Structure 1
Amino acid sequence: MDLLMSVPIASYFFSTSLTSWSTSLNLLFFYMTWTTLILSHSPLKIELFGTVGLRIVFWLIPSLFFLLVDTLLPSLAESLKHSGTSALPPRDAVALARLLGLAIFNLTLETVLEGLLSLGTALYLKAPIFRAATTLPLPWQMAKHIALLFAAREVLTYYIHRYILHAQYPSRTTRRLAAQHARCAHHRRAAPFSLLLFADHPIPFLLHRFVPIYLPALLLQRHLHMLTFFLFFGLSTIEETLTLSGYTIVPGIIMGGITRRNSLHYSRPTGNFGCWGVLDWMHGTSLGGDVMRDVKNEAEKHHVKEKGEKAADEAGGLIQEGIEGLRRSRRNKGRRSMANGGSE
């Protein structure tokens, strides 16, 4: 428990919200916490406790809270769900307990498999899979790696989800996996709730939720800092938890669009196979509007076109003023030269 509470990402954000320290003191505290953690625990232990802690904080606790709202305040939740009453989770305590048990089992399975893969890779390479150094990663390096990880997650999720878990003409193996995925994850045709993020058959769950996150990180071995992986892992967990909640009040047009497409996928599993909808838009498998419509709505919401035109006008005005000033300077210089020549 002390290791879980000492994960520096959590302590860093809590310190900024609970105190009035300056940014430099927060960074110093963050660095000291991370350094102490690295020097006192093995990289594998930090990785496993860190990922489990992120799953608990950003998926399990919010999912149970959403489930309480859905079951204790159904009239309120109904008005906030994409599919209304049909999107509410079952009120059967036994069914909910089974779903929770399956979700906890998959969380445990994911952690065990991650530990085995990390341990095996570390033994084979004679080094930890992630760079668990006391030196913090540079912001540009973190942004580049996170962008690569999210892009790889989108590609893997789409093609695994579409061609294995929802294969139109499946082989014998994919037919079994698709049937298991349909029986567990799509046992009802309605908008999902966040607990369903982990409530799937174990093998389809690993293919759908674990492989797209962990495999790209595995391919970036020894180049990826553990803090960068934690940030990517936490952002992915937050996104999946919110967008599978089924609520219409998920903030942001982009996130709201992902939530809407997830709701349609669970209601009609013939499209919306990706995470963000980019490959669905490219392959024509979007249901209920694609990601480009969300981007257009976001641009209209923030008046991007008007702001761009205003910025262009201002830039053009500054350039024109600079040209006119240069011309005036040359004319004044010519006049002074002529005046000096005349006086001689």
Structure 2
Amino acid sequence: MDILLSLPIASYFFSTSVTSWSTSLNLLFFYMTWSTLVLTHSPIQIELIGATAIRVAFWLVPSLLFLVFDNLVPSVAETIKYNGASALPPRDFKSLSRLLALALVNLSLETVAEACLSLGLSVLWKQPVFRTSTTLPLPWQMIKQLGLLFTLREIFTYYTHRYWLHGTPPPAPPSAISKRIKIPKPPKPRYLPSLHKSYCHKYRSPPFSLQVKVDHPLPFLLHRFLPTYLPALILRNNLHLLTFFVFLSLTTIEETLSHSSYTIIPGIIMGGIAKRTCLHYTGRKQGNYGTWGVLDWVHGTGLGKRDVWDDVRDEASRHQLRRRGEDMVNETGSKVEKTLRRSKRNLDGNKRGRRAISNKKGKGWLVDDEDDGEGDWVP
């Protein structure tokens, strides 16, 4: 819990760009807090406590706040929800208590599954799953690893969600090959899609944030837990535990906001993710299996008139990336041009200032470095 409550954790990522006394003190305070945790607790304890605190702080608390807001002022909430009043959560106490109980059960199950896997793998490998040391990871290394983690998570999420949880069978081999080798057609899964549909898609309406963990435990582990934990296991040799915490925090915030069905979510890309999530829950046909929409665009399973590239173009135009890029190129070109002119001027000045002359004593150089017409004799 100390990891989450330590506010200086945010300043660590900006320590290279913000050079103020407060940032340095915050970084020092965070380093001391993290070092104390590493020296006084085992890696498994730090991982489980930190992961549970992140899920509670970034999913459970905001979900309950959104739920209270939607039920206390539904007339205001429906104006900022996709599909209006149909996006409001159920208001009866019995339904809400069941949904909350199932969500808490899945939260506990997620923690138990992570504890069992981390403990078992650490015993098998004779070392912690994630690198837990007092040495902090470098910011650029964290950025590269986070990009790879999000890419692997999107791949696992899309194919698990599409083929296992929505009953779409994997593509069959070509007919010519199947006739020669007699390969049977892949069966259409039935058990997992029925569980996922009866629990997660029970209400054919836009979701609310509590529904992130409202599903049957087996589809929930396949859809929410494994796509987040497996990429971290793939990079376990070089992955610091702090990087895993940052990745888990970002994915939890993303899931909470994308399932809120609010139209006022900041950012065009994040707003596009929320809209695609709503279309997945309310669409007449199946689609939008991924989070970011890239694989849906590749496989043609996207729903709605807009795709992920429309969101990227809107985000770029919003932040004026093209104009900023042109200004950066022009500024860089002007700096290079000034440097070349300065180098050429210095070279010409040296040629004019050093003139070979001869006198009776011998040959030498007349040095005129100041370019004032008066030189000094250098034998």
Counterpart mapping for 1:123-134 below 5 A = 123-134=123-134
Question: For residues 305-332 of structure 1, what are the alpha-carbon distances to aligned partners after superposition, in whole Å with 9 as ceiling and x for unaligned?
Answer: 2222333334444445555566666666
Q: TM-score, normalised by structure 2?
A: 0.81
Against the structure 1 CA distance between its residues 137 and 271, is the aligned structure 2 distance closer, same or farther, given a 3 Å change threshold? same
Q: CA deviation at 1:37?
A: 1.1
Check the 8 A contact 2:167/2:188 in 1, yes or no: no
Deviates further, 23-32 or 62-71: 23-32
Against the structure 1 CA distance between its residues 335 and 277, is the aligned structure 2 distance closer, same or farther, given a 3 Å change threshold? same
Task: Find 1:190's aligned residue among 180, 205, 208.
Answer: 205
Equivalent position amino acid for 1:29 in 2: F
What's 1:206 paired with? 221
Check the 8 A contact 1:43/1:132 in 2, yes or no: yes
Task: Find 2:241's aligned residue among 218, 226, 233.
Answer: 226
Q: CA deviation at 1:337?
A: 7.8
In the alignment, structure 1 residue 153 sits paired with structure 2 residue 149? no
Against the structure 1 CA distance between its residues 313 and 36, is the aligned structure 2 distance closer, same or farther, given a 3 Å change threshold? closer
In the alignment, structure 1 residue 296 sits paired with structure 2 residue 330? no
Against the structure 1 CA distance between its residues 73 and 340, is the aligned structure 2 distance closer, same or farther, given a 3 Å change threshold? farther
Q: CA deviation at 1:247?
A: 0.3
Against the structure 1 CA distance between its residues 315 and 101, is the aligned structure 2 distance closer, same or farther, given a 3 Å change threshold? same
Gaps of 5+ in 2: 12-19, 171-185, 359-372, 374-379
What's 1:274 paired with? 290
What's 2:67 paired with? 67
Check the 8 A contact 2:169/2:188 in 1, yes or no: no
Task: Find 1:10's aligned residue among 5, 13, 26.
Answer: 5
Question: For residues 117-174 of structure 1, what are the alpha-carbon distances to aligned partners after superposition, in whole Å with 9 as ceiling and x for unaligned?
Answer: 1111011111111111122222222222222111110110011111111233487683
Q: Secondary structure at the match of 1:22?
A: helix
Which has the higher Rg, Structure 1 or Structure 2?
A: 2
Q: Whole-Å Cα distance in 1 between the matches of residues 325 and 141 of structure 2?
A: 29
What's 2:84 paired with? 84
Check the 8 A contact 1:54/1:234 in 2, yes or no: yes
What's 1:104 paired with? 104
Higher-helix-fraction structure: 1
Q: Whole-Å Cα distance in 2 between the matches of residues 294 and 67 of structure 1?
A: 28
Deviates further, 34-43 or 252-261: 34-43
Q: CA deviation at 1:78?
A: 0.2
Task: Find 1:310's aligned residue among 327, 330, 334.
Answer: 327
The size of the alignment, in residue pairs, is 334
What's 1:287 paired with? 303
Q: Secondary structure at the match of 2:204?
A: coil
Deviates further, 305-314 or 194-203: 305-314
Q: CA deviation at 1:45?
A: 1.3
What's 1:247 paired with? 262
Check the 8 A contact 2:132/2:240 in 1, yes or no: yes
Q: CA deviation at 1:303?
A: 1.6
Q: Secondary structure at the match of 1:174?
A: coil
What's 2:177 paired with? none
Q: Whole-Å Cα distance in 1 between the matches of residues 74 and 291 of structure 2?
A: 28
Q: CA deviation at 1:286?
A: 1.7
What's 2:277 paired with? 262
- RMSD over aligned Cα, in angstroms? 2.5
Gaps of 5+ in 1: none
Q: CA deviation at 1:334?
A: 6.8
Identity %: 54
